């Protein structure tokens, strides 16, 4: 029996792709007879992250206030989490504190430590956490933002492509990537040996995927209209400006579309204003995953105008639901969507608009087979 720990400063109950992935693989490790523990939920740093997010324009002032007020209230775990959670506190900075000794004893008993590739997580892990037998960095966050138009993106690229980040990467026994582009970047930019990199795409727990869906009567749906769905955080990365432009362009002419938008974020006001301007937009805000699965069912096409991704759960979940995907040719989505079969991969905003009416028929079982969580666990087992 192996003991595995995941180090991530964020709270495990955060509804992010990385945290949902950790919950899924942690529960699967337990089912396979392994021990798994989550080390993180460091609330002091979470407050700092929230403030930095506001300064960099990643979250609005109102969202910043809301998150700061909630950061001490959320539960450490919920009913999705079956493994123990070790909550980090300020004692981690004190060399002889009981908490530091507790974490040190726990990590040294681990056969493997998995660490999220956020710069601050990697720094604190390197400085404060005793090493286990093997240590792996899992690439969840994009290392390079290809379109660095905002201050936030420029700052990200400055640090994540710099010498400090490179030195941290090279301290690990291995690096785990979910797309081939990240693998090539690690080799070409940082000089990482290919043999140290393991390609493990994300996976879906198919039993959970089928059972979690919540029946929901979505408001204002018109059955005879073609329903175009966007699901994601409303920010630069996800291509919100492109989404707005596409909707405006299509609404200059008579059409039979309903645009359904699910998500929250700093660009939310743009979507709210757009929904007031056009009657064929249904903005549903942020919704629990169980309801999102229901929304996929009524869509005719799922669009992903993201400018960069690491993987893309939306692309995978949409196709598992039998819905085609329209996306840009970027790492992540372009390794999931089968161009011309399960959707279309395009290179420009004009092509996006031109392909909203395309029809596709494909077998969703392909994605169930190639992106199952069981396969993910098998690949982890090979290295742990």
Amino acid 129: pLDDT = 87
Average pLDDT over residues 185-207: 94
Cα distance from N-terminal residue to C-terminal residue, the chain: 11
Q: Please name every residue paired with 137 in a beta bridge, in sequence order, or none if there are none.
A: 115, 175
The set of residues, in sequence order, having a beta carbon less than 8 Å from that of 320 and lying 6+ positions away, is: 204, 206, 209, 364, 367, 368, 371
pLDDT category at 164 given cuts 50, 70, 90 is very high
| Region of residue 335 (left: phi > 0; alpha: psi -120 to 50; beta: else) | alpha
Average pLDDT over residues 103-116: 94
Amino acid 50: pLDDT = 85
Among the listed residues 35, 44, 37, 22, the one whose alpha carbon sits nearest the alpha carbon of residue 103: 37
Q: Give the chain's radius of gyration (CA, Å).
A: 21
Kindly list the structural domains of the chain, giving each domain's residue range(s) and its CATH number in brackets, ordered by start.
3-200 (3.40.50), 209-370 (3.40.50.2000)
Among the listed residues 301, 230, 267, 315, the one whose alpha carbon sits nearest the alpha carbon of residue 17: 315
Q: Rounded CA gap, 118 and 142, in Å? A: 9
270-313 pLDDT per residue, tens: 999 999 999 999 999 999 888 999 999 999 999 999 999 999 99
pLDDT at 123 over 80: yes
Which range is least confidently modeled, 137-141, 149-153, 167-171? 149-153
Neighbours of 221 (CB within 10 A): 13
Average pLDDT over residues 209-230: 90
Query: Tokens 């709210």 map to which residue?
Result: 272
pLDDT at 193 over 80: yes
Q: Are 114 and 132 a contacting pair, CB within 8 Å?
A: no
Neighbours of 162 (CB within 10 A): 11
pLDDT at 99 over 80: yes
pLDDT at 354 over 90: yes
Q: Whole-model pTM above 0.95?
A: no
Residue 115: phi and psi, rounded to 5, are: -125, 130
Amino acid 209: pLDDT = 85
263-276 pLDDT per residue, tens: 988 899 999 999 99
Amino acid 91: pLDDT = 92
Average pLDDT over residues 141-148: 85
Output the 3-class SS for 205-265. Answer: CHHHHHHHCCCCCCCCCCCCCEEEEEECCCCHHHCHHHHHHHHHHHCCCCCCEEEEEECCC
Average pLDDT over residues 200-219: 87
Among the listed residues 305, 325, 307, the one whose alpha carbon sits nearest the alpha carbon of residue 316: 325
Q: Are 233 and 263 a contacting pair, CB within 8 Å?
A: yes
Q: What is the mean pLDDT of the chain?
A: 91
pLDDT at 210 over 90: no
Q: Can you say whether the dihedral through the CA atoms of 236, 238, 242, 246 is positive or negative?
A: negative
Q: Are 229 and 258 a contacting pair, CB within 8 Å?
A: no
Q: Please name every residue paired with 138 in a beta bridge, in sequence order, or none if there are none.
A: 116, 176
On the CB side of 257, CA atoms within 13 Å amount to 25
pLDDT at 198 over 80: yes
């Amino acid at each position: 029996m192996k003991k595995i720990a995941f180090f991530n400063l964020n709270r495990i109950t955060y509804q992010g792709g990385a945290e949902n992935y950790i919950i899924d693989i942690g529960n699967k490790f337990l089912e396979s007879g392994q021990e798994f523990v989550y080390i993180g939920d460091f609330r002091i740093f979470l407050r700092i992250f929230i403030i930095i997010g506001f300064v960099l324009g990643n979250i609005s002032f109102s969202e910043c206030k809301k998150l700061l007020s909630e950061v001490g209230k959320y539960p450490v775990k919920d009913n999705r989490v079956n493994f123990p959670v070790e909550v980090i506190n300020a004692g981690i900075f004190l060399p002889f504190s009981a908490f530091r000794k507790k974490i040190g004893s726990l990590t040294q008993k681990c056969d493997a430590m998995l660490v999220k590739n956020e710069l601050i997580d990697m720094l604190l892990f390197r400085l404060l956490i005793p090493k286990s037998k093997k240590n792996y960095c899992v690439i969840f966050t994009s290392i390079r933002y290809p379109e660095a138009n905002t201050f936030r993106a420029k700052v990200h690229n400055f640090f994540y492509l710099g010498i400090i980040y490179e030195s941290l990467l090279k301290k690990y026994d291995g690096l785990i990537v979910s797309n081939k582009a990240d693998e090539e970047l690690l080799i070409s930019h940082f000089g990482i040996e290919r043999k140290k990199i393991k390609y493990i795409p994300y996976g879906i727990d198919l039993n959970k995927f089928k059972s979690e869906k919540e029946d929901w009567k979505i408001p204002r749906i018109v059955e005879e209209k073609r329903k175009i769905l966007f699901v994601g955080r409303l920010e630069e990365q996800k291509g919100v400006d492109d989404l707005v432009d596409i909707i405006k362009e299509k609404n200059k002419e008579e059409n039979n579309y309903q645009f359904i938008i699910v998500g929250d974020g700093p660009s939310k006001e743009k979507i709210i204003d757009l929904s007031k301007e056009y009657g064929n937009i249904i903005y549903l805000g942020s919704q629990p995953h169980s309801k999102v699965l229901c929304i996929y069912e009524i869509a005719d096409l799922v669009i992903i105008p993201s400018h960069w991704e690491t993987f893309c759960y939306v692309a995978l979940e949409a196709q598992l639901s039998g819905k085609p995907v329209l996306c840009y040719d970027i790492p992540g989505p372009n390794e999931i969507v089968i161009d011309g079969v399960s959707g279309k991969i395009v290179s420009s905003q004009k092509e996006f608009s031109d392909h909203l009416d395309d029809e596709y028929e494909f077998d969703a079982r392909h994605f169930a087979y190639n992106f199952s969580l069981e396969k993910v666990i098998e690949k982890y087992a090979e290295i742990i």
